[in-house]
Amino acid sequence: QELLDYHNFLLERRFGEPATDPESVFEAVERWASEIQPMLGDVVTALGAIAGASGNVLFEGAQGTLLDIDQGTYPFVTSSNTTAGAAACGSGVGPLVFDDVVGVVKAYTTR
């Protein structure tokens, strides 16, 4: 209730929007919960089962190695690890799941 009071204060005083009723928030959250419930699961267990059964799991990174916070070209780095090893710790699978790592590179930087 305290958190909702704080946000209602901001909505009304800062943004000129009407306050939110706690009951309507609760009802919306209940609706959303029932909608996303079928999509919830233990990703670590699922990835382990897939890797064990077929041996094929594909991970895709969104940043290049030179942007890695630890291995990158500081100060031009992002706030996370971007190397292949980060896929293991970020997904919850161990590094032994990876048989092959394919890196895609280009001859010049564009950042």
What's the confidence (pLDDT) of residue 7?
Answer: 94
**Of 36 and 92, more confident:** 36
What is the distance of C-alpha 67 from the center of its chain? Answer: 17
| Angle of CA points 65, 70, 74, to nearest 5° | 80
Give the relative orientation of helices 43-53 and 84-91 as an angle to the nearest 10 degrees. Answer: 120
SS3 57: coil
Instruction: State the average pLDDT over residues 57-69.
Output: 84
Confidence check: pLDDT of 104 > 90: no
> For the segment 19-39, what is each residue's pLDDT rounded down to a tens digit?
988 888 889 999 999 899 999
Query: In the chain, what is the greatest distance between 2 CA atoms, to the nearest angstrom?
Result: 57
Instruction: State the average pLDDT over residues 82-103.
Output: 83
What's the confidence (pLDDT) of residue 49?
Answer: 86
Burial 27-47 (b: 16+ CB within 10 A, else e): eeeeeeeeeeeeeeeeeeeeb
Q: Where are the alpha helices (DSSP H) in the chain?
A: 2-9, 22-36, 43-53, 84-91
Confidence check: pLDDT of 59 > 80: yes
**Total-model pTM:** 0.53
